[in-house]
Amino acid sequence: MIFEPDFETLPREAMRALQGDRLRALVGYVHDRVPAYRERLRRSGVSASDIASIDDITRLPITRKSDLRDHYPFGLLAVARGEVRRVHVSSGTTGKPTVVAYTAGDVDLFARVNARSLAMAGAEPGMMLHNAYGYGLFTGGLGIHYGGERLGLNVVPVSGGMTERQMTLITDFRPEVITCTPSYALTLATEFLKRGIGPDEISLRFAVLGAEPWTDGMRAQIDAALGVKSVNIYGLSEIIGPGVSCECVEGRDGSHIMEDHFFPEILDSESGEPLGDGEEGVLVLTTLTKEALPLLRYWTGDITSLTRAPCPCGRTLARMRLIKGRTDDMLIIRGVNVYPSQIESVLARVPELSPHYRIVVRRDGTLDGICVHAEVSDAFFREVGRAVLSQEVVESDHRLRDLRERLAMLLRDIIGIAMAVELLPPGEAPRSEGGKLNRVTDSRR
C-alpha cells in the first residue's frame, strides 16, 4: 500500500512546483527566525523573493555538521524553546554531540515519513513489528515506533541488544516485520541457524534495515537466512532521523526520498558542483517543511547517486542508491579512495567466508599498509578441521592458503590496490549488538 498517495505519486512537474513553493517559504522562515541563517543569506545576497523555482536552491549556502556544533546546543533553533516537544542527540566521534529538536508538527512529520517507509517495505495495517532499533537519544527506535503506530502496526519496542530475549519474542509473538541494523539482522540470522531454525519456520516476511552502510551481498544473506525481503531505510538525525528515504519492496532498487519534505541534491565531494542523475557524489538535503531545526543544503557526507526513472511501485519520488560510504569513513590508501563497504561486498562473494571482518590500516615506513582480517564460515572451519588459524597453519594447509590468495586477488582486482589478508576463525571479528559498529582500526591517525 501507499501511505500518502497524494504526495508519493505526485507527477514530477507538480512535485517541482511544490518544492519551489516550499523552498521560498523556508528561506523567508529561516531568515526571520535564525540569526545565523539571516547572516549567511545576507552574505550570499539571496532572499526569499529570489527563489523562482527549486532550481534556485544552488544559490543558497551549504550547512555542515560543524555549524550544528558551533551553535551547540540550541543556537540554530527557529522556534522558542517552549515550542519544542522532543530532542534527540547523536554522539559524534569527536567533540560535542549533535543535538536536534522537534516541534509537535515535526514529531507528526517524523511519524508520517516512517509510516510511509514501513508501507514501502511491505508492512500493512494489522501486522506486528519487532522494532530492534535502539530507543533513547538515538532517533532510530522512536522514529520507527511512531511510524509503525501511525501505519496501524502492533509495535513491539524491543530496542537493541539482549539477543536471547529477541529470539524468544520473535519465536513466540511471530511478527511479520523487523526493523534493525543490517549487521544486527545478520547476528539474529546466525542465531537462528545455530538453533537449526530455517527460514520457512521464521514468521518474519519484511525487514527494514538501516543506520549503517550495507551491500547487496549482505542483503542476499539476510534474505536467505531469515526468509524475508529486506529493504534499505535511510536517515540521519540532523534531517529528521530514519524515514528520509526507504526502498519499496516492489523495486528494491534505490530508496525513495520523501522529497516533498527533504529535497535532495548530489554535489561533487571536492568542488561542491552539482552533479546529474546517475553521477556519484555527496548527498545534500534541505528540510523543506521542518519547524524547529530547518536546515538549508545540509552536507550529509554520504556518497550516493540519484535516479528519477519510473519505479514499478508507482511512486514518483526520486530514488537514491545504497550509500557507498561516507566521505569521513573513506580510507585513502596510497592515494586510492577505499570504502569499507567495498571490501564487504568482495567478502560476500566468497562462500567460505562469514560476513564479519575487520580492517587494519597502518603506515609501514612511508607506505600505507592495509590488511583485511576476514572470518571463515563455520562450515568451512569445520571442513578444514584446525583448532587455530595462525600464520603457520594457513601456510601449511593448501585450502587455507588458496582461500587467502583468492581473496587477496579479488580485492586487488575489484578495488584496485593490493591488500594483505589474514584469516580469522568464526566468532573473532566484531559483532553488532544493535548499535554502530567500528570495523576499522587506522593507526595512521
Closest by CA to 201, choosing from 227, 224, 175, is 227
| CB-nearer residue toward Zn ion: 247 or 375 | 247
Closest by CA to 443, choosing from 368, 357, 344, 366, is 368
Q: Given the DSSP bridges, would you call strands 177-180 and 154-156 parallel, antiparallel or unpaired?
A: unpaired
Residue 318 CB, shortest distance to Zn ion, in Å, is: 11
Given candidates 77, 79, 189, 313, which one binds Zn ion under the rule CB under 5 A? 313
| CB-nearer residue toward Zn ion: 1 or 379 | 1
| CB-nearer residue toward Zn ion: 121 or 384 | 121
Q: Provide φ and ψ at 100, rounded to 5°.
A: -125, 150
Given candidates 123, 248, 318, 374, which one binds Zn ion under the rule CB under 5 A? 248
Strand, helix or coil for residue 83: helix
Cell of 14: 507538480
| CB-nearer residue toward Zn ion: 297 or 315 | 315
CB 261 within 8 A of CB 283: no
Show the site string, 251-280: x = touches Zn ion by CB under 5 A, - = not.
x-----------------------------
| CB-nearer residue toward Zn ion: 90 or 114 | 114
Residue 126 CB, shortest distance to Zn ion, in Å, is: 22
Q: Which stretch in 35-43, 141-149, 240-248, 339-347 sits in contact with Zn ion by CB under 5 A?
A: 240-248
Residue 299 CB, shortest distance to Zn ion, in Å, is: 27
Distances from the Cα of 234 to the Cα of 27, 213, 366, angstroms = 25, 9, 39
Q: Which residues contact 105 (CB under 8 A, 6 or more apart)?
A: 291
Show the site string, 158-197: x = touches Zn ion by CB under 5 A, - = not.
----------------------------------------
Q: Provide φ and ψ at 186, rounded to 5°.
A: -65, -40
Site for Zn ion (CB under 5 A): how many residues?
Answer: 5
CB 167 within 8 A of CB 188: yes
Cα–Cα dist 73/95, whole Å:
13
Show the site string, 315-354: x = touches Zn ion by CB under 5 A, - = not.
x---------------------------------------
Residue 210 CB, shortest distance to Zn ion, in Å, is: 16
CA geometry: angle at 35 spanning 22 and 299, to 5°?
Answer: 60
Given candidates 311, 347, 411, 421, which one binds Zn ion under the rule CB under 5 A? 311
Residue 155 CB, shortest distance to Zn ion, in Å, is: 24
Question: What value does the CA radius of gyration of the chain take, rounded to a whole number of Å?
Answer: 23
Cα–Cα dist 64/61, whole Å:
10
Q: Given the DSSP bridges, would you call strands 241-247 and 255-257 parallel, antiparallel or unpaired?
A: antiparallel
Closest by CA to 128, choosing from 69, 93, 172, 92, is 172
Residue 180 CB, shortest distance to Zn ion, in Å, is: 22
Q: Which stretch in 75-83, 158-166, 185-193, 308-316 sits in contact with Zn ion by CB under 5 A?
A: 308-316
| CB-nearer residue toward Zn ion: 12 or 444 | 12
Residue 181 CB, shortest distance to Zn ion, in Å, is: 23
Strand, helix or coil for residue 57: helix
Residue 263 CB, shortest distance to Zn ion, in Å, is: 19
| CB-nearer residue toward Zn ion: 107 or 322 | 322
Residue 248 CB, shortest distance to Zn ion, in Å, is: 3
Cα–Cα dist 418/285, whole Å:
36
| CB-nearer residue toward Zn ion: 313 or 423 | 313
| CB-nearer residue toward Zn ion: 156 or 311 | 311
Q: Given the DSSP bridges, would you call strands 128-131 and 440-442 parallel, antiparallel or unpaired?
A: unpaired
Q: Which stretch in 39-47, 158-166, 310-318, 343-351 sits in contact with Zn ion by CB under 5 A?
A: 310-318
Residue 313 CB, shortest distance to Zn ion, in Å, is: 3
CB 357 within 8 A of CB 375: yes
**Packed helices 182-194 and 216-226: angle between N→C axes, nearest 10 degrees:** 40
Cell of 202: 521464521
DSSP per-residue letters across 225-249: HHT-EEEEEEEETTTTEEEEEEE-T
Residue 314 CB, shortest distance to Zn ion, in Å, is: 7
| CB-nearer residue toward Zn ion: 215 or 316 | 316
| CB-nearer residue toward Zn ion: 244 or 313 | 313
Q: Where on the chain is the footprint of Zn ion (CB under 5 A)?
A: 248, 251, 311, 313, 315
